[in-house]
A = this chain, B = another copy of it.
Amino acid sequence: MPIAPDSRVDLDRFWQTIETSGRIGQGRPGGLSRLTLSDADKEMRDQFVAWCQDAGLSVEVDECGSIFARRAGSDDSLPPILIGSHLDTQINGGRFDGIAGVLAGLEVVRALNEANHVTKRPIVIVDWTNEEGARFSPPMVASGCFVGKYSVDWVHDLIGDDGTRFGDELKRIGYDGSRPCKAGEIDAYFELHIEQGPILDAEGRDVGIVTGGYPVRGMRASFEGKTAHTGPTPMDLRRNALVAGARWLTAVDDIGWDYAVHDGKATAARLTAWPNKPGILSDTAEAVCDVRHPDPITTRVMAEKMRRSVHEAAAVAGCTATIEDEWEWGGDIFDAGLIDSIRNQAIRLGVNWRDIQSQAGHDAYFLATHCPTAMIFAPCKNGITHNNEEHCEPQDFDAALNILLHAVVERADRD
């Protein structure tokens, strides 16, 4: 039978899944510390798989550990609609970032089951492994591998901060699946996510229709100097790699302030050095920074300044520098047709919506390189995220969930 235009998800049922998830891998008060491929991640995955099986879905795990839970379509040979996000969190993470998107997919399927509605095209809920990159850097490797950006071997050989290997941890928790990590034909990809910024909350909006992402450019630089005594070594003979790293981070932070008035941001995210001890100058350092701005040309200018500052910082410290890795994402990457259909559902449902740009990275960015993709943002309090104080009320998800439900059904059932 067809789905009624006023069908709604069950917000309480959705919230119960959020609350169950919120008990698995607890971190600081109110938050989660559910690092990818940890014991807690395994426990959450097992719970998610059980829910999916109860909902009649067939579950497969791919070579990177991503979970695909499939609801057959009435014309099951057609390319599927994917609804996905991630169940892992930052080391001091919240209870909603990523998680809400996966459980939203589950809630859509449960609502369809309740309505006895079989969509024409199949629907697949996806939990992408290691979206956060909080244990194995970089982030979003499983969705990246899925669309062909990374090889499976490369992902498996990633070494975590704790010295463990991605592939070994995957095996250890029993999620080394056999489904090839390779996207076939996909009709569309939807991702619901909390905003991770203060705009919707500040403006009292029910939902954000994501039109694209802030262009982001990041880089990892290494500095090489020479160990020496901290005492007698004259300043002009010092080659302290830690100083090179600290000067680069300072310069990048300055770039952020220079562009802050038009919402530019620069992040000094990570700095390690060796030996990094009192009494000895460090001979190596490595650092990760990024810049972002709503305007792509300005982002490029900021990135050029960031690049130049790597070498300036090294020069002052008497070190050499190498840019080991560079990346960029964002821009107008989402599908205009899909955005329109979401916007139309928001209008039809009478919610208070606005267009918005994402400022964070998401698996959706990689999926957008492969198939029509769109994102829907729910508000979160004060935009605080990647912190145990990340907070949402059930009502914050009402508009986003119901828009997702109807946009997915409209897409899945079209001729």
Contacts and interface: CB of A to CB of B under 8 A. Distances in A.
A280 B134 contact: yes
A234 interface: yes
B268 A231 contact: no
Interface residues of A, number: 74
Interface string A247-284: 10110010011001001111111111101111111010
Contact of A271 (B246, B316, B384): B246
A90 interface: yes
Given A276-B271, A280-B90, A265 B231 contact: yes
A266 B218 CA distance: 31
A245 B246 contact: yes
A174 interface: no
Nearest to A256: B235
Interface in A377-396: 383-387
A189 interface: no
B268 A243 contact: yes
A155 interface: no
Interface stretch (A2-10, A62-70, A222-230, A340-348): A222-230
Nearest to A249: B246
Interface in A174-209: 195-198
B229 A386 contact: yes
Contact of A231 (B91, B360, B384, B387): B360
A230 B275 contact: no
Nearest to A361: B231
Contact of A276 (B139, B270, B275, B317): B270
Nearest to A357: B232
B278 A139 contact: yes
A91 B281 CA distance: 11
Given A231-B292, A231-B359, A279-B139, A271 B271 contact: yes
Given A214-B231, A228-B385, A317-B253, A269 B279 contact: yes
A216 interface: yes
Contacts of A280: 90-92, 134, 269, 386
Contacts of A277: 90-91, 133-134, 137, 161, 269-270
A233 interface: yes
Interface centre among A92, A317, A358 (most CB of B within 10 A): A92
Most chain B Cβ neighbours within 10 Å, of A232, A253, A269:
A232
A230 B250 CA distance: 16
A337 interface: no
Interface of A: 90-92, 132-134, 137-139, 161, 195-198, 214, 216, 218, 226-237, 240, 242-243, 245-247, 249-250, 253, 256-257, 260, 263-273, 275-281, 283, 288, 290, 292, 316-317, 358-361, 383-387
Given A214-B231, A230-B265, A269-B279, 5 more contacts: A90-B279, A133-B279, A198-B234, A231-B265, A279-B386
